[in-house]
Amino acid sequence: MLDTKNKLSEARRMKKRNRLLARRTFLQRVMTITSWAAVGLLLKSCESATTVQPATGGSLSPEGQNDAPGASKPASASPTPVVDPAWAKVLKEAEDHRKAPFRGITEAGKVEEDLYSIRSTGVSTKPVQLATQRFLDSLDAGQKKLTQFDIQSVRWRQWSNTHRYPRVGVSFGQLSDRQRKLAFGVLKASLSVGGLKQSETIIKLNGHLGELTGKPEEFSSGLYWLSIFSDPSSTQPWGWQLDGHHLNINYFVLREQVVITPLFMGSEPVNARYGPLKGIKLFEKEENLAYELISLLSPEQKKQAILADEIPSNVFTAGFRDNYELRYEGIPYSQMTSRQQEKLLELVGTYTGRQRKGHAELWLNEVKRHKERLFFVWMGGTGSNDVFYYRIHSPVILIEFDHQAGLFLDKGKIGRDHIHSVVRTPNGNDYGKDLLRQHYLEHGHGDGKPHSH
């Protein structure tokens, strides 16, 4: 009899534990609705809405099914999520962007051709391929269905820095410890030591933000989603994407070539207030080298480089800006002294150096080949404690850096504790799109697109 009571007691404890785990999973995934039909429902519900009211029963997969492993299906009486008008605007922008054909970042809407080519680089991508395959092999059938997509999928372009944005893939919080380790193995094989450390710190600081705000359901190191596009291959195009708050990496692979843009990195805060991360500060090199460069410019050069005393509210080419038009502005490389030129290329190398060794050097050399058309732009103050924005722009690279107003800490105050940065490959090669087009042409697809079989 006592044994039966113990079993019943244990069963009740397990049931309670499972309810708590299910609730936690739901809270972490509440805004990860990847069904665009569901987004349509969100948009319709926004006209008179003022608060977010998540539906119960879990988040939705692209097929409308509950995508939390082992979770139950949503109850039919679950309310529709309600979104405020400002958030509806973000979703509408995302939907419009999804429907627009990809063109890429351009100067005036026209893609400059013959900038990129398929070639042998002598730098193997085998470590990335093997690490990604190990991660895929660790997933069960349901997880893999939510993680792997076609190389042509529009899901490449459905990333956003916004923490509440609907995500695709399987979140780190849904993975087992072993699977999460393998997921980070993909990053380790793809990025430099510095790039990996920066990515890991951004993820950890997002969890720290959850502690500081008391909102771990919105800000967590588990709220990052890894998606794989096509099968890892040494001959065919494929890639991966990591998507979450302040960290968005798009990694395209074609044989020995890699494109790692759009690449968005940011953080709020940029250093931890307490705990094991205290003392680590993000974006110091990106900040300090830029300040050193603007300080090297003469008064006349500064007149050319500085476009405004005020900084913009955000970088111009974040999520949903794949087709943004941006003029070449500021001071060109050709009008800098040799010392200034070295400092500019050192700053560029801070961003290209986020890639793994070998491919990082190839990327920087690509920028150097077009250095006579490399421009540097500055907005904001030039004092040692001032906030600022800068942009580095050429036909083959676009880098933006911006100090942001606080959103969750020091709300509304513009300072150096909230930073956004983004790197793009202009003229149609973000996501490796131009290399992919050439690959299809190379294999007899006259229109540069895959043929259905």
For the cut 50, the answer to whether the pLDDT of residue 1 exceeds it is no
Residues 288 and 423 in one domain: yes
Enumerate the β-bridge partners of residue 60.
66
Residues 302 and 368 in one domain: yes
H or E element, residue 265: strand 263-267
Enumerate the β-bridge partners of residue 267.
419
The highest-confidence range among 23-27, 78-82, 183-187, by mean pLDDT, is 183-187
Q: Which of 277, 310, 331 is the last residue of a domain?
A: 277
96 against 403, higher pLDDT: 403
Enumerate the β-bridge partners of residue 238.
253
* Window from 58-67, 92-101, 303-312, 400-409 with minimum mean pLDDT: 58-67
Note whether residue 451 is domain-resident: no
H or E element, residue 141: helix 141-147
Enumerate the β-bridge partners of residue 442.
none
Instruction: Find the domain containing 204 and state its range.
Output: 119-277
**Does the reported pTM lie above 0.75?**
yes
For the cut 80, the answer to whether the pLDDT of residue 168 exceeds it is no
pLDDT at 451: 38
| Residue 406 to residues 284, 310, 345, Cα–Cα distance (Å) | 18, 16, 30
Q: How many CA atoms lie within 13 A of 99 on its CB side?
A: 6
* Window from 42-56, 193-207, 373-387, 423-437 with minimum mean pLDDT: 42-56
pLDDT at 268: 97
For the cut 90, the answer to whether the pLDDT of residue 328 exceeds it is yes
Residues 425 and 301 in one domain: yes
408/268 Cα distance (integer angstroms): 8
DSSP letters, 367-436, are HHHTGGG-EEEEEE--STT--EEEEEE-SS-EEEEEEEEBSSSSBT-EEEEEEEEEEE-TTTTGGGHHHH
Count of Cβ atoms closer than 10 Å to residue 96 Cβ: 10
Mean pLDDT over the full length of the chain: 84
The highest-confidence range among 36-40, 170-174, 369-373, by mean pLDDT, is 369-373
| Both tokens assigned to 407 | 């959103």
Residues 330 and 349 in one domain: yes
Phi-psi sector, 275: left (phi>0), alpha (psi -120 to 50), beta: left
Note whether residue 187 is domain-resident: yes
Note whether residue 358 is domain-resident: yes
Mean pLDDT value of segment 424-436 = 98
Q: Report the interhelical angle of 338-352 vs 359-369 (nearest 10°).
A: 140
Closest to 267 measured CA to CA, from 342, 176, 206, 195: 206
What does the chain come to in residues?
A: 453
Residues 51 and 193 in one domain: no
Give exposure, 416-430, as e/b (b: 16+ Cβ within 10 Å). Answer: bbbbbbbbbbbbbbb
Note whether residue 75 is domain-resident: no
pLDDT in tens, 83-104: 577 778 878 888 888 889 999 9
**Residue 442, burial from CB neighbour count under 10 angstroms (0-12, 13-18, 19+):** exposed
* Window from 70-74, 161-165, 227-231 with minimum mean pLDDT: 70-74
Note whether residue 438 is domain-resident: no
Residues 248 and 396 in one domain: no
Note whether residue 439 is domain-resident: no
Residues 250 and 310 in one domain: no
**Residue 274, burial from CB neighbour count under 10 angstroms (0-12, 13-18, 19+):** exposed
* Helix residue ranges, H only, 72-219: 85-99, 126-137, 141-147, 177-190, 193-213
451/448 Cα distance (integer angstroms): 9
Enumerate the β-bridge partners of residue 421.
265, 401
pLDDT at 166: 81
Residues 268 and 356 in one domain: no
In the chain, the number of structural domains is 3
For the cut 70, the answer to whether the pLDDT of residue 361 exceeds it is yes
DSSP letters, 176-204, are -HHHHHHHHHHHHHHB-HHHHHHHHHHHH
Mean pLDDT value of segment 350-373 = 98
For the cut 60, the answer to whether the pLDDT of residue 109 exceeds it is yes
Percent over 90 (pLDDT), the chain: 72
Note whether residue 256 is domain-resident: yes
Residues 204 and 343 in one domain: no
71 against 30, higher pLDDT: 30
Q: How confident is the model at residue 48 (pLDDT cuts 50, 70, 90)?
A: very low
H or E element, residue 239: strand 238-244
pLDDT at 38: 42
Mean pLDDT value of segment 138-149 = 96
Closest to 383 measured CA to CA, from 270, 283, 302: 302
Mean pLDDT value of segment 62-84 = 36
Note whether residue 213 is domain-resident: yes
Strand stretches in 245-385, DSSP E: 247-254, 257-259, 263-267, 306-308, 331-332, 375-380
Q: Are 324 and 105 in contact (CB under 8 A)?
A: yes
Q: What is the DSSP-derived secondary structure letter of residue 355?
A: B
Q: Which residue has the tokens 């006349």?
A: 300
Residues 303 and 414 in one domain: yes
pLDDT at 447: 58
Contacts of 317 (CB under 8 A, 6+ apart): 105, 262, 324, 326, 398, 400, 422, 424
Q: What is the DSSP-derived secondary structure letter of residue 310?
A: S
Residues 225 and 295 in one domain: no
* Window from 75-84, 164-173, 240-249 with minimum mean pLDDT: 75-84
Q: Which of 277, 310, 327 is the last residue of a domain?
A: 277
pLDDT at 146: 94
Helices first, then strands: H and E counts in the chain: 12, 13
pLDDT at 206: 97
Residues 327 and 244 in one domain: no
